[in-house]
Amino acid sequence: MNAVTPLMPDIDFAHDDVPNLHELIDELRAHGPVVPVRYHGSPVWLIMDHGLLKGAFEDYVHFDATEGYKLIAEPSMGKTLQTMAGEEHRVSRALVNPLFMPVKVRSYVEALIEPIAHELCDRIEGQREVEFVSAFARPYPFLVITRLLGIPVEDEARFMEWAIKMIDFPWDPEGSVRAKEEFDAYMQAIIDDRRANPGDDFVSRLAHAEYEGQKLSDERILSFLGLLFPAGSDTTYKNGSSLFAELLGKPELCAMARGSDKDREAIVTEGLRWQPPTAFLPRMASADVDFGGVRIAKGDWTLFGITAANNDPAVFPDPRRFDPSRDNREILTFGRSTHFCLGMHVARRELETALRVVFERFPNIRLKPGQDVQHVGAVLRGVRHMIVQPYGEA
Amino acid sequence: MLVRFIDPDGCEHLVEGEAGESAMRCATRALIPGIIGECGGAMACATCHCYATPPDGATLPDPAAQERDMIDGCIDTRPTSRLTCQVVLAPELEGITFIVPASQV
């Protein structure tokens, strides 16, 4: 792979903001469905075609994600569902799966998600202008997780620091490992307590889960809990920021967001297609393969171009148009096959609830005019800052 | 072979199914409302839940343990609940009916 010269050599997709990502993808697409680009300074294969990417997600022979994740995530995150394969993955996923199924997630909405949305709106109330990412989009899914885990409010800030640092391994190895150690030490006390005094809460359920005679060790629970933050908080916050940025500039979409649950489901799904938070997902090839006109060798890094596939004009006509009425069954935002995102239902309910509550509380909310709101990042893509006026013009 | 889907609005859709394909594939190919199949048929998303009624004289194989576990987590389940990604169409199922639940979530 090192002998391959990346296209657009001045751009590093691991580090650069790439606000014009969609234009770059259009340009890259002209060179083929799979092209070399630069990532962390080295050439990697970017897969953009929808059919090919769907196939890659389902192909555990050539694109088994586990080896790559062991290198970039296991040192700081421990062994997680991302780094497990086959039977071990099947049983481990089954142990935690009931906590993420639709019937369970429905109960989180009323008990947990909606009150947090209101709490954050309470803090916005009365202000003429608010930076919406830091006031709502970012803390919202994070608080869903900390409250799910039973973390006291006074420790939430500390958790935020650990959560950000733990996934920073490729950029700051020592810092991320240290953050995981501190996180583990804190959570161990809670696990010990729930093992001794089980309740109906999330950690108790994990501590006492049993499937085919197997249980979760403390180590596995800690790894799983650590994974919740990058998998469930960062992604949802990025997508939420993108979604609100799009909606708040378009009155007809705001009107639709004030409509029915089905309307909000459609808006959220279109937002997930249009600007997925994991724009490019790094994966290491697990075997040699001729793929999309190029030779990918075992050990080569690839980027699963989710944003590119979700905007593939062959599958999604006029893909840059935000259109909640389009058929979105083929979106690849949550992946595909057995490693399909476990938290998909939580993420969707969070986003739908955010729309409902924010527009209920602030029916006239809008973007402050005159801002250049940019979607940035290719690893995790979203909006960094946007000033909103909760009460509109007044 | 014909497969009958009744969508959440009560509308009936008759779809030409192919023996060997899953009922989920048949439904998504025909854009039946309410059957998503977002994970592609790996029993990982629980978005293709339906109530299945095989034609007279035919029966469906019982759900495997993993399908049963997933159905347990679906909304508004009934004894006839199935994940359509796990129902493989066969000639003896000609005329099978799938009622799509009001919501998958």
Which value does ipTM take for this structure?
A: 0.96
Instruction: Give the residue from chain B lying closest to A262, CA to CA.
Output: B103
Q: Select from A180, A291, A227 the least CA-distant residue to A84.
A: A227
In whole angstroms, what is the distance from residue A356 CA to residue A365 CA?
Answer: 13
Please tell me the predicted confidence (pLDDT) of residue A394.
Answer: 61
Q: Is B45 on the interface with A (CB under 8 A)?
A: yes
Q: pLDDT tens, position by position, for chain A (394 residues)?
A: 657 899 999 999 999 999 999 999 999 999 999 999 999 999 999 999 999 999 999 999 999 988 888 888 787 788 899 889 999 999 999 999 999 999 999 999 999 999 999 999 999 999 999 999 999 999 999 999 999 999 999 999 898 888 888 877 778 889 988 998 999 999 999 999 999 999 999 999 999 999 999 999 999 999 999 889 888 888 999 999 999 999 999 999 999 999 999 999 999 999 999 999 999 999 999 999 999 999 999 999 999 999 999 999 999 999 999 999 999 999 999 999 999 999 999 999 999 999 999 999 999 999 999 999 999 999 999 999 999 999 998 6
Q: Is B100 on the interface with A (CB under 8 A)?
A: no
Q: pLDDT tens, position by position, for chain B (105 residues)?
A: 999 999 999 999 999 999 999 999 999 999 999 999 999 999 999 999 999 999 999 999 999 999 999 999 999 999 999 999 999 999 999 999 999 999 988
Interface test with A, best of B38, B50, B68, B72 (most A CBs within 10 A): B38
In whole angstroms, what is the distance from residue A310 CA to residue B22 CA?
Answer: 24
- Residue whose pair of structure tokens reads 């994974």 in the numeric block: A227
**What three-state secondary structure class fits B16?**
strand
H/E stretch holding A192 reads helix A173-196
In whole angstroms, what is the distance from residue B32 CA to residue B15 CA?
Answer: 9
8 Å CB contact between B4 and B97: yes
* CB within 8 Å of chain B, chain A residues 132-161: none
Q: Select from A44, A74, A78 the least CA-distant residue to A184.
A: A78
H/E stretch holding A246 reads helix A235-248
Selecting from B37, B70, B75 the residue whose C-beta is nearest the C-beta of A329 gives: B37
Dmax over Cα atoms in chain A, in whole Å?
62
Q: State the Cα angle at A44 between A40 and A45, rounded to 5°.
A: 150
Please tell me the predicted confidence (pLDDT) of residue A367.
Answer: 96
First and final CA of chain A: distance in angstroms?
57
Please tell me the predicted confidence (pLDDT) of residue A115.
Answer: 98
- Residue whose pair of structure tokens reads 């009931």 in the numeric block: A98
Q: Letter for the amino acid at A222?
A: L
Please tell me the predicted confidence (pLDDT) of residue A298.
Answer: 96
Q: Where are the domains of chain B?
A: 2-99
In whole angstroms, what is the distance from residue A256 CA to residue A127 CA?
Answer: 25
The length of chain B in residues reads 105
Beta carbons of A337 and B39 less than 8 Å apart? yes
Q: Output the average pLDDT for chain B.
A: 97
Instruction: Give the residue from chain A lying closest to B45, CA to CA.
Output: A340
Beta carbons of A106 and B105 less than 8 Å apart? yes
Which residues of B are less than 8 Å from A334 in CB distance? 38-39, 45
Fold designation for A21-389: Cytochrome p450 (1.10.630)
User: Both tokens of residue A333?
Assistant: 């935002």
In whole angstroms, what is the distance from residue A191 CA to residue A220 CA?
Answer: 11
**What three-state secondary structure class fits A251?**
helix
Residues near A25 by beta carbon (within 8 Å), at least 6 away in sequence: A48, A305, A307, A308, A311
Instruction: Give the residue from chain B lying closest to A346, CA to CA.
Output: B105
Q: What homologous superfamily is domain B2-99 in, according to CATH?
A: Beta-grasp domain (3.10.20.30)
Beta carbons of A102 and B104 less than 8 Å apart? yes
Residues near A112 by beta carbon (within 8 Å), at least 6 away in sequence: A144, A147, A148
Q: Select from A367, A310, A316, A275 the least CA-distant residue to A18.
A: A275
Q: How many C-beta atoms lie closer than 10 Å to residue B17's C-beta?
A: 23
Please tell me the predicted confidence (pLDDT) of residue A2.
Answer: 59
H/E stretch holding A352 reads helix A344-361
Burial class (CB in 10 A: 0-12, 13-18, 19+), B43: buried
**What three-state secondary structure class fits A324?**
coil
Q: Is B30 on the interface with A (CB under 8 A)?
A: no
Q: How far is CA A9 from CA A28, A83, A170, A375, in A?
A: 12, 31, 20, 21
Please tell me the predicted confidence (pLDDT) of residue A164.
Answer: 80
Which residues of A are less than 8 Å from B46 in CB distance? 101-102, 345
Beta carbons of A97 and B73 less than 8 Å apart? yes
Instruction: Give the residue from chain A lying closest to B41, CA to CA.
Output: A337
Selecting from A57, A58, A104 the residue whose C-beta is nearest the C-beta of B73 gives: A104
Hey, what's the torsion of the CAs at A356, A245, B105, A123, to 10 degrees? -40
Q: Is A105 on the interface with B (CB under 8 A)?
A: yes
Q: How far is CA B67 from CA A102, A179, A239, B72, B85, in A?
A: 14, 38, 30, 9, 10
Instruction: Give the residue from chain B lying closest to A100, CA to CA.
Output: B73
Beta carbons of A103 and B74 less than 8 Å apart? yes
**What three-state secondary structure class fits B81?**
strand
